[in-house]
A and B are shown apart, each in its own frame.
Chain A
Amino acid sequence: METVTWRLVWDSILQGLFLRRAKALTSQTISNIFLSPPASSLSTPPSTPKPISDPSPSTDFDIVAFYNDLINSDATMTPPIAAIESLISLLANTPLTTISETLALLSTHSSKLLASQRNPIPLSAGTELFQRYLVSSFQQRPSSLANSDFTTLRHHILSNSSLFVKRANEARPKIAHHALPFIKDDSTIITYGYSRAVQALLTHAAECNRFFNVIYVLPATGLTERLAKSIAALSELSIPTATISLQALTYALASLAPSAPPPQFIVGATAVLENGSIVTELGMHQLALIAKSVSIPLHVAVESYKFVRNFPLGYGPSDLARLGVKQDVLRFEDGVSHSPSSQADISSTEGGMVEITQPNLISALITENGIMTPNAVSEELIKLWF
């Protein structure tokens, strides 16, 4: 299933290229990307280019293990960036001689990496972005490299790739900077679960001597270690914090002092889809609905490399399945064959689950490129891709 999806994604990249080729490419060195040579493609009857079907070059590099090491070793590392790092080191470790080979290698290993993950959506943002970046850097390579052989070109791309990761890591401070005007003194900020971007944002605001309260709404996984750490970090900056469960949210909102500045939700997301929906752990949709019904703005702090070029039509299991996530919340039991699942069982299974929150519930996205409405996500993606 997933291989098929990624074939199609990859295919669409090529498709995009193919359509742009007429004006964008001088098709000399690029021609081996395409199956059909451009000269003959003019005279052949119209047909779509087939996905690359040749077997990818073999390598003994284990991309899944590398990725897992990376995620576990560095707490600030987000999945998309880790995926990109993995792909870069894959390229560095595999000596290849043609562009076609490189792209095929990347495509197969991306699919392998994605298949290994339970929630591949954030990773897919990274792998797609890198593949896209690679293709465009082949196209728009500096003129000094126009006629050089592939080895120098490859070296150039690899050195630029690390720059790519570095730039991506600068996103969070920028988000914190953009979000600062939103945080008023004496206001209350409600957040859900753990997010590096939100953490950076709150820390930055506290360092800028804003005074505000933070309410942490706990997800099904409860108070995890890194969540406890971030609460402690805020307390050190003398920011008052409270932790409540999702069930207590509406009562907590009613308990806020009416004279205080209006509260706001600032949450993170693991991925943003093309229509502006966000992918988060379970519970966010409920929270967003509550926010909407009591007219409290919901802001999503997210890095723009988490944007995924995939358009869901709703927020149900079929939409998640299109994204490569298979999960099942509903398990009807008749009480005869099985004993009812215990509370601990539920929280452990639902802990890793994700859901889609629709864009009409989101007030704004705070990204390193500025504040944008959910509608603007597709615009950003088109700019990135074409």
Chain B
Amino acid sequence: MADSNSSDPSAGGASLNPTAASFTMPSASDSNLTNGHAQPAPNGEGQSKVTVNSQPRTAESAGKATDPNVAEAGAGAKLTGAQLKKQKAAEKAARRAEKVAEKGAQAQVPAQTQGGPGPSGTKVEIPRRPSTTKRESDSVPQLRRTPSGSRTLPIRVGSQQQQQQQTLNSAPPEKEKHHEPKKVGMFSHLYPKEKRATLAGAGREIHPAVLALGLQLRDYVICGGNARCVATLLAFKKVIQTYTTPSGVALSRHLLTHLNHQIAYLRNARPLSTSQGNSIRWLKNLISTQPVEAADSEAKQSLCEAIDLYIRERITLADEVIAREATERIEDGDVILTYAKSSIVEKTLINAHRQGKKFKVIVVDSRPMFEGKNHARSLIRAGLRVQYALLTAIADIVDQEAVTKCFLGASAMLGNGKLLSRVGSAMVAMMAKECSKNKSRNVPVIVLCETVKFSAKAVLDSIILNELGDADALVDSAQPEVFSSTNLSGPGAAAAASKGSSKKSGSKDKDTTGKAGSKKPGGKDKDDDDPDDKGDFSNAGLEAWQDQPGLFLLNIMYDVTPADYLDLVICELGSLPPEAVPVVNGVHGDDQAIA
């Protein structure tokens, strides 16, 4: 057991590549080393090796076989010419011995195969090695097996276990590779069907600007509904600028298909947001209605101008109007609750602060993205009074801090008046409403949302329309950095933050993540000691979630807030109740026109 353990590091290190393991394996045991190195040698040596290897066994089996042979020989000597028969018997014995040796070798391999399911792996690897010895005689299959079997002979017991262990250690990762990543059943429709977009995987027709954008979207460098929408439109503007219509086709037809490739690439990088979807639909509609007889340059010019105007009217100007209208809702003495980060909420708060309104902001944040940190940072920079807390402390915050208003950003406003926003928003809205109701206060929940983000879709739950983030993001156990404003609640926020983080990790894992982190090296050793013991994965923390049966990690990006928890939606058309969203869709037209 001990020696097998000592040989393990090499096996463990090589476990990623089973074929490589078999090559490095022999180096662990000296006797096999010669075999391993002799292996690529020419045929003659290989054959000699075979004979050398088979000799001890032939001697051993010959010991058993010779007894009847001798008896036979003795009996034969009585009947016929002794010499002749002896010669024959010798020949026979030699042949038999050879056969027995072969049988023995064959028998040993099955014995190993019965040891574990692994040898299928070794069998696979074997044919590769003798590729140099292919010109051997018709007994090649036997020869192939004998080396591997014989190689293990000298330290049979140990090596057998070793090999078994190797297969056990190497097989599971191999299986993981072949299997799909673990999926949470109810959300299986959200897992990406193809591999995420990469630079290498992109087609020739993908424009460099789109390539760059795709990677930025994929890695959340460009994040947030407005930023993504604007970036997409600007990238498409570049696509249009460098586009030339092939002869014999209309721009309105061919540019659309050309754009479709770009869109598919972007969608592959990250599912499109509602704002992106709406603006892309608008752009497509615009392109398809370009007059056929218009010159290429003119059409391109008008498209680019339209894109600029669209960005300006639907996003830049809209943001200003919304910020101005929302600023009017902020009064002196307000305590404003906000969640994660929204560009428009940030703009509103800073705008109100510049107008000299005296109010306090509570930024609620959560794992794993910690977008609220950025939000808090820019608010503090603008000179606001900010308190930062984690979502887990929301009940206490709403209760103790006398929150008067709640501002939320949006990813989309749905057709039935519900809000699709960063996961956790529903909780914030609900707590703001319910807690205030208990205290006979009224905390209005106000959504700031451009009409670009209005969607005609009606969704009842957070399952249908959602997006999955990287599940490994949940594993990260780093302690959140603690944020505090100048004069407010340094220790309070710190306590809340640490409380929040420990609570959250505790809910997922029996050990706190900190503990698991310190245990990690020890835990790994233990795993290697008793690979059969499945219970051992529990010590590895969330890091081993891929290997641990029954443990699934789900990192959803959005959730749906019911319209009951929302009071007001401020868009560039003015203040609306959430139920009026479909009306705006109908009025604004371009969302539903092609939907």
Contact = CB atoms under 8 A, between A and B. Distances in A.
Given A46-B312, A382-B583, A311 B576 contact: yes
Contact of A16 (B305, B316, B573): B573
Contacts of B69: none
Contact of A386 (B324, B568, B573): B573
Given A48-B317, A313-B567, A382-B587, A274 B444 contact: no
A261 interface: no
Contacts of B567: 275, 313
A42 B313 CA distance: 11
Nearest to B572: A19
Contacts of A8: 328
A377 to B, nearest CB: 8
Contact of A313 (B320, B444, B576): B444
Given A46-B317, A313-B567, A382 B577 contact: no
A50 B313 CA distance: 16
Contacts of A276: 577
A313 B328 contact: no
Q: Which of B331, B446, B573, B574 has the most CB of A within 10 A?
A: B574
Interface residues of B, number: 32
A16 to B, nearest CB: 7
Contact of B577 (A15, A274, A383): A274
Contacts of A275: 567-568, 577
A375 B573 contact: no
B148 interface: no
Nearest to B563: A375
B442 interface: yes
Interface in A266-285: 274-276
B332 to A, nearest CB: 11
B155 interface: no
Contacts of A47: 320
Contacts of A46: 312, 316-317, 320
Interface in A15-50: 15-16, 18-19, 22, 42, 46-48
Interface string B400-417: 000001000000000000
Contacts of B576: 274, 311, 378, 382
Given A19-B317, A274-B577, A275-B577, A383 B587 contact: yes
Interface in B178-210: none
Given A42-B305, A42-B309, A378 B580 contact: yes
B579 A274 contact: no
B240 interface: no
B579 A375 contact: yes
A245 interface: no
Interface string A301-322: 0000000010101100010001
Nearest to B308: A42
A379 interface: yes
B299 interface: no
B583 A15 contact: no
A12 interface: yes
Q: Which A-B residue pairs are the 7 nearest by beta carbons?
A: A311-B575, A378-B580, A313-B444, A46-B316, A379-B583, A375-B579, A46-B312
Interface of A: 8, 12, 15-16, 18-19, 22, 42, 46-48, 274-276, 309, 311, 313-314, 318, 322, 375, 378-379, 382-383, 385-386
8 contacts: A12-B574, A19-B572, A48-B321, A48-B324, A276-B577, A311-B575, A313-B444, A379-B580
